[in-house]
Structure 1
Amino acid sequence: MLLWINGPFGGGKTQTAHEIARRLPGSVICDPENVGYGLHRMLPARLRGDFQDLPVWRQGVHDMLDLVLREHEGPVIAPMTLVDDGYFKEIIGRLREKHDVRHFALLAERETVLKRLNERGLGMGLKWESFAVGKLDHCLERLSRPEFGEHIRTDSVTIPRIADTVAASAGLRLAPNTDSALRHRLRRTWTSVKHIRIG
C-alpha cells in the first residue's frame, strides 16, 4: 500500500510521514523530493526551476515508487506536495492502476500554515520560506478540490492524531503513541532539522 501524504508546504506532511513510520513496523518513507533535489544537483543553476515540471522527475518518482511497492512488503509513505492535475494523474493515477494507493491532503487555514512556516524559518521567519509562502494560496485552493481528497483538517490537531487519522482511514493499526510532550517536540525538531535543504 502507498500512503501519499499531500498538502501545502508547511502543512505537516513530513512530520506526519515520520510519525506514521515510527509507529508502523515494516513501513518505509520514500520521499519524492529526493529525486528532485538529485536532478537539481545534476543541472546547471540556470536550468533549475520547479523540478516537478521535468518529465524525468515525474517518471522517476513513478518508477521508484512502483519498484518499492513491488519489492517491499510493508506500507510505503510518500510525503509530497503535488497540486497539478496532470502531474497527479501521471504519477498517482498510473500507480493506482497497479497498486493500492491511498491519497490524503492535509489542509489548514492560511493563517495556520503561515504560523507553521514562520516557526520553521530558521530564525528568519517567513523570509526563509518565501517559496512556500508564494505557493500557499495556489496549493490550498487546488488541494481543496474533490479530486485531491481525502481531506484532513489539521488546524488544531497534533501530528500523532493526524497520523492516527491517516492510518485508520487506510485500515492500518499504529502502535500507541507513548511520547511525552517534550519528547514529541524534540522529535519534531530533529525531523525538521534533517530536512533542511540548502541550495
Structure 2
Amino acid sequence: MLLWINGPFGGGKTQTAHELQRRLPGSVICDPEQVGYGLHRMLPASMRGDFQDHASWRQGVFEILDLVLTEHDGMVIVPMTIVEPQYFAETVERLREKGHEVRHFALLAERETILNRLRDRGLGVAPLLRVVGQQDLLLRREQFAVNKLDRCLEQLSKPEFGEHIWTDATTVAEVANHIADTTGVTLTPNIDGRLRGRLRRMAVTLQHARV
C-alpha cells in the first residue's frame, strides 16, 4: 500500500510521514522532491521554476513509485504537495490504474495555522521575534510556500483531493493514528513525551531544511 500525504507547504506532511515510518516497521519514505531537486541541479538557475511542471518529474515519480510498490513488501509513504488535477492524475491516479493500492490524505488547516507552522520552522525563535515586532521575518525564507498557500488550500479542499484531515487542533501523532485507523494498519505505541516529541520534530525539520 502507498500512503500519499498531501497538504499545503508547511501543513505537516513530512512530520506525519516520519511519525508513520518510525511506528510502522518495514515502511519506507519515498520523497518525490528528491526527483525535483535532481532536475533543478541539471538546469541553470534562471530556468528553475516549479519542477512539477516538467513532464519528466511526473513520469519519474510514477516510475520510481511503481518500482518500489512492486518490489518492496512494506508500506510506502509519500509526503508531497500536489494540487494540479492533471499532475495528480499522472501520479496518484496512474499508480491506481496500474493496480496499486493508493490511499491519499490531504492535511488541511486554517491559513493562520499554516503560517504559524512555517514560522515555527525557525526552530522555536518565532516567539522571540514576535516580542521584538519581527514575527514575519521567518516567513521571508518561506516565500515560495506562502505564495502557494491560498492555491493549495483552495484546491485541496475539493472532493477530488479527499480524504481530508483537518489538523488545526491535532498533534502529529494523532494525525498518524487517524491515518492508521482509516487504512487498517497497526502502529507501534507512541511513547514520546512532550519534550522528546518536540526534539524529534526539530530533528526532522533540520534534516529537511532547504539551504
TM over 0.5: yes
Note the residue ranges of structure 2 that are not aligned, 5 or more in a row.
Answer: 126-136
After alignment, is 175-184 or 113-122 more displaced? Answer: 113-122
Matched, 1:47 2:47: yes
2:175 — aligned with what?
162
Taking the aligned partners of 2:63 and 2:180, their CA distance within structure 1 comes to 24
One-letter code of the match for 2:40?
A: H
Shift of residue 170 of structure 1?
1.0
Taking the aligned partners of 2:11 and 2:173, their CA distance within structure 1 comes to 14
2:108 — aligned with what?
107
Q: Say if 1:8 and 1:139, in contact at 8 Å, map to a contact too.
A: yes
Aligned alpha-carbon RMSD (Å):
0.9
Percent of matched pairs sharing the same residue = 66
Structure with bigger gyration radius: 2
Shift of residue 194 of structure 1?
0.3
Task: Give secondary structure in 2 for the equivalent of 1:10.
Answer: coil
Taking the aligned partners of 1:47 and 1:115, their CA distance within structure 2 comes to 31
Shift of residue 43 of structure 1?
1.1
Taking the aligned partners of 1:47 and 1:157, their CA distance within structure 2 comes to 39
| Mapping 1:133-148, distance limit 5 Å | 133-148=146-161
Shift of residue 121 of structure 1?
3.9
Taking the aligned partners of 1:194 and 1:180, their CA distance within structure 2 comes to 21
One-letter code of the match for 1:19?
A: E
2:78 — aligned with what?
78
TM-score (norm 2): 0.92
TM-score (norm 1): 0.98
Q: Say if 1:9 and 1:132, in contact at 8 Å, map to a contact too.
A: yes
Shift of residue 148 of structure 1?
0.1
Task: Give secondary structure in 1 for the equivalent of 2:88.
Answer: helix
Taking the aligned partners of 1:119 and 1:3, their CA distance within structure 2 comes to 25
Taking the aligned partners of 1:152 and 1:173, their CA distance within structure 2 comes to 19
What is the number of residues matched between the two proteins?
198
Q: Say if 1:121 and 1:129, in contact at 8 Å, map to a contact too.
A: no
Taking the aligned partners of 1:136 and 1:100, their CA distance within structure 2 comes to 29
